[in-house]
């Protein structure tokens, strides 16, 4: 279904001209959860599921966006005032156009056909993939050259302001900067990053719980507020603290009395998680997968008990994973409250692992469990030839 050729053909059938085709991947996060909006460290990888955007020029200044998933087409006039939030799927794309214009980039009118293959609600960043694919398409079709880190910020801003989800920068950043067979260690304050090779001897196995609890969006913003509350309280004693990134464990314990119980728990997760990412990077560099897997396990426990973003289905999926052979580490990935787990599994055991976990999960819950055995993929790009498409 997907692929440059087919989406290009479908675009031509609809709009009568040959388009350019762009694609942007979803992501999985290996470690460093909820740390991005605390100016901390994360280590995601791009995955081989993409949002595809076929784009062609228009003579007027309209943006016509057609979604193959939602079987819907929207039409809007470019220009800051006319781009309005509608509360639907198109906000991710229109929001990006609005943000580009807000930052002074003049866009040309365009027809866009969007095909998303990143599973929605699985915690694999289908929204960032739509934003990024739209953003590179609009920028390139308008003849603008914008560096990738700026594009990531534009997409994040669009989601924060237009969609109303106060996400950090991780998802958009990895969708733009991901590299095949590498995880990316990002300092979310400086936006400096380092690519870390994933050994050929392992696979990333993603297990989708198939549930997305309704509270996800609201609870996410709430966690962010609780972290901000912790910063405000700690800053009374430690005036140099701008974000939880600036706090170490000793300081947190020393000033625990300034924090509510909830704010303390949230801060404890962030402070320890940042450490785990940095130590995890060293372990991966040494090829010490057991050690890295141990940090993944600790990350999960902290997310479950301190940050409180897990749920029964994720807990079960992690428990089932830990019973299997060849597993280095298992944890929930993404914002939480449903979605998927990420498992680092010996390459020889990966297929059996996926089959066993999926079967056991379905037996216990009655919910079908999709699994993906993969290695990190490449970041967003324009698709130049049919060979690049799948």
Among 61-69, 92-100, 167-175, 235-243, which window interacts with ligand GLA (CB under 6 A)? 167-175
Which residues fall within 8 angstroms of residue 325, CB to CB, at 6 or more apart?
A: 346, 349, 352, 353
How big is the CA angle at 136 (ends 132 and 142), to the nearest 5 degrees? 145
Q: Which residue in 171, 187, 288, 298 is the catalytic one?
A: 171
| Residue 166, CA distances (Å) to 45, 125, 129, 159, 297 in order | 21, 14, 16, 7, 27
Q: Pick the binder of ligand GLA from 40, 168, 210, 338 (CB under 6 A).
A: 168
> Checking phi first, is residue 188 left (phi over 0); if not, alpha (psi -120 to 50) or beta?
alpha
> Measured from the CB atom, is 170 or 185 closer to ligand GLA?
170
Could you tell me the smallest distance in angstroms from the CB atom of residue 190 to ligand GLA? 17
| Least Å from the CB of residue 109 to ligand GLA | 30
The site string for ligand GLA over 90-129 (x = CB under 6 A, - otherwise) reads -----------------------------------x----
**Applying CB under 6 A, does 36 fall inside the site for ligand GLA?**
yes
- 293 forms part of the interface with ligand GLA (CB under 6 A): no
Q: Are 130 and 114 in contact (CB under 8 A)?
A: yes
Active site residue 171: yes
Q: Compare residues 7 and 167 and give the one whose CB is closer to ligand GLA.
A: 167
Task: Give the residue, chosen from 167, 252, 311, 360, that forms a contact with ligand GLA under the rule CB under 6 A.
Answer: 167
DSSP string, 76-140: EE-SGGG----SSTTHHHHHHHHHHHHTTPPPPPEEEEEEE-SPTTSSS-HHHHHHHHHHHHHHH
Distances (CA, A) of 250 to 189, 263, 303, 331: 22, 16, 20, 26
Among 151, 125, 75, smallest CA distance to 340 is for: 125
CA distance 335 to 217: 9
Supply the minimum distance, in Å, between the C-beta of residue 210 and ligand GLA.
18
DSSP H or E segment with residue 12: helix 4-15
Find the binding residues for ligand GLA in span 324-383 (CB under 6 A).
334-335
Tell me the C-alpha distance between 166 and 225, whole Å.
10
The residue range among 15-23, 28-36, 96-104, 322-330 that interacts with ligand GLA, by the rule CB under 6 A, is 28-36
Q: Does 171 bind ligand GLA (CB under 6 A)?
A: yes
Indicate which single residue of 15, 22, 37, 361 sits in contact with ligand GLA (rule: CB under 6 A). Answer: 37
Does the footprint of ligand GLA cover residue 33 (CB under 6 A)? yes
Question: 3-state SS string over 163-196?
Answer: HCCCCCCHHHHHHHHCCCCEEEEEECCCCCEEEE
Tell me whether residue 55 or residue 170 sits nearer to ligand GLA (CB atom): 170
User: Which three-class secondary structure state does DSSP give residue 40?
Assistant: coil
Only segment of 26-34, 132-140, 191-199, 365-373 that touches ligand GLA (CB under 6 A): 26-34
Could you say whether residue 280 binds ligand GLA (CB under 6 A)?
A: no
Q: Which is nearer to ligand GLA, 42 or 113 (CB)?
A: 42
For residues 47 and 206, is the Cβ–Cβ distance under 8 A?
A: yes
Stretch of residues binding ligand GLA (CB under 6 A), selected from 110-118, 142-150, 166-174, 226-234 = 166-174
By CB under 6 A, name the binding residues for ligand GLA.
29, 33-34, 36-37, 125, 167-168, 170-171, 334-335
Mind telling me the catalytic residues?
Answer: 171
């Amino acid at each position: 279904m997907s692929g440059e050729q087919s989406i290009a053909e479908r675009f031509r059938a609809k709009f009568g001209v040959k388009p350019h085709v762009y694609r942007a991947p979803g992501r999985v996060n290996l470690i460093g959860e909820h740390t991005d909006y605390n100016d901390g460290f994360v280590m995601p990888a791009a995955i081989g599921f993409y949002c595809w955007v076929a784009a062609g020029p228009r003579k007027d200044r309209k943006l016509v966006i057609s979604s193959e998933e939602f079987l819907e087409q929207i039409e809007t006039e470019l220009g800051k005032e006319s781009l309005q939030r509608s509360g639907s799927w198109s906000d991710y794309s229109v929001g990006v156009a609005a943000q580009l214009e807000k930052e002074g980039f003049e866009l040309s009118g365009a027809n866009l056909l969007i095909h998303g293959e990143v599973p929605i609600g699985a915690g694999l960043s289908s929204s960032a993939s739509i934003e990024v694919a739209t953003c590179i398409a609009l920028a390139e079709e308008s003849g603008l050259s914008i560096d990738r880190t700026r594009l990531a910020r534009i997409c994040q801003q669009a989601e924060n302001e237009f969609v109303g989800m106060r996400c950090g920068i991780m998802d958009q950043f990895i969708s733009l900067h991901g590299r095949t067979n590498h995880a990316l260690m990002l300092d979310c304050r400086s936006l400096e990053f380092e690519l870390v090779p994933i050994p050929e001897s392992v696979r990333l196995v993603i297990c989708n719980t198939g549930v997305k609890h309704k509270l996800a969006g609201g609870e996410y913003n709430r966690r962010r507020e609780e972290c901000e509350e912790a910063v405000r309280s700690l800053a009374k004693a430690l005036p140099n603290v701008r974000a939880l990134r600036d706090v170490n464990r000793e300081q947190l314990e020393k000033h625990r009395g300034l924090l509510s119980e909830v704010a303390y728990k949230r801060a404890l997760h962030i402070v320890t998680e940042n450490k785990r990412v940095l130590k995890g990077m060293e372990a991966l560099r040494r090829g010490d997968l057991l050690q890295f897997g141990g940090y993944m396990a600790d990350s999960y426990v902290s997310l479950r008990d301190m940050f409180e973003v897990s749920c029964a289905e994720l807990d079960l999926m992690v428990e089932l994973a830990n019973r299997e052979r060849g597993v280095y580490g298992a944890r929930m990935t993404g914002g939480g409250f449903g979605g998927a787990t990420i498992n680092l599994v010996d390459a020889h055991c990966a297929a059996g692992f996926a089959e066993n976990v999926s079967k056991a999960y379905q037996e216990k819950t009655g919910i079908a469990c999709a699994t993906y055995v993969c290695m990190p993929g490449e970041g967003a790009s324009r698709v130049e030839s049919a060979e690049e498409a799948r």
